[in-house]
Amino acid sequence: MGEFVKLETGKSGIAVIRLDRPKMNALNMQVQEELRAAAHEATARDDVRAVIVYGGEKVFAAGADIKEMADMGYVAMSARARDLSSAFDAVARIPKPVVAAITGYALGGGCELALACDWRVAADDAKLGQPEILLGIIPGAGGTQRLARLVGPARAKDLIFSGRMVDAEEAYRIGLVDRVVPAADVFTAANELVEKFAEGPAQALKAAKQAIDGGLDVDLATGLAWESQLFAGLFATDDKTEGMAAFVEKRAAKFTGR
C-alpha cells in the first residue's frame, strides 16, 4: 500500500486504484511509482477481475507536480522520462478491463492516466486537457500517442498545440470520454461499466485486450497473425471448455478465469 496510491479490493472482483494526494492529486515521482506498483499488483492478483482508477469525489488528477519538475534540466529529465512513461504504461498494460472515473480535473498527467485506461466515465462538470504546451513542453507520459490514437491526429493537435481544456460535453463528442454522468454518479457508473466483466472469462478478456491494443501498433497482416495466435491459445483454457459446453447444453456459463 502506497502513501498516496492504494489498491482497494472487495468481494466483487473489482479493484480500485485510488489516488489520494491532497489537494489535486498532483502526480509527482512518488505517486508515479506508487501507480506502477498498484498496476503491477492488480495485474498479478487473480481475485482482481476489473479495475477502476479513481481520484475521489473532487478531482481525478490535475497534472504533474510542476514544482518538482521546475528545476530539472535535460540531464535529470532524460534519466527520468522513460520511467515516467512506463509508470503510466503499467496501467495501460493491466490485462483486465480498466475504467477511469473522472471527477473535477483530468489535466496533463491526469489526462494521460485516463487515456491509459480502456474507458473513461466523466462527471458532467469535468474538465480535461493537455496543457503542457503552456509550460513550454509537451505531454511526456503517453499523451501525444494515446490521444492521437483515440480522437485522431487533427483533434489531438488542436488540444496539445493550444493547451486548452475541454468540458465533458466536448470530450464526449470527440470521443475522449465514453460516458458523461452527474458528478455524484461517476463512481457508480464506472463500477456498472466493468461489473459485468468480473465474472467473465478472464483469459479471453485478457486476450481480447492484448489483440486490440497490440494490433494498433502493427500492420494489418501482423495484427491478424497476432490475433490468430491469441485465439488458438484460448483453446487451452478451462473457460473455453465451459463456455462451449454451456452453449451446447443451453445454460449460462460459469467461468472460473482459468
For residue 202, the surrounding DSSP H or E stretch is helix 202-215
Active site residue 112: yes
> Residue with C-alpha cell 497490440?
214
Active-site choice (112, 169, 195, 249)? 112
Closest CA to 58 of 113, 130, 126, 131: 126
Active site residue 132: yes
| Whether 200 contacts 252, CB under 8 Å | no
Return the C-alpha cell found at 51.
479495475
DSSP state of 25: T
Active-site choice (34, 41, 132, 249)? 132
Q: What are phi and psi of 144, to 5 degrees?
A: -70, -25
Q: What are phi and psi of 35, to 5 degrees?
A: -60, -45
**Type of residue at 229:** Q
Closest CA to 137 of 160, 112, 113: 160
Cα 231 to Cα 82, 135, 209, 218: the distances in Å are 32, 45, 12, 18
> Residue with C-alpha cell 475521489?
56
Cα–Cα distance, 82 to 113 (Å, whole number): 15
Catalogue the active-site residues: 112, 132
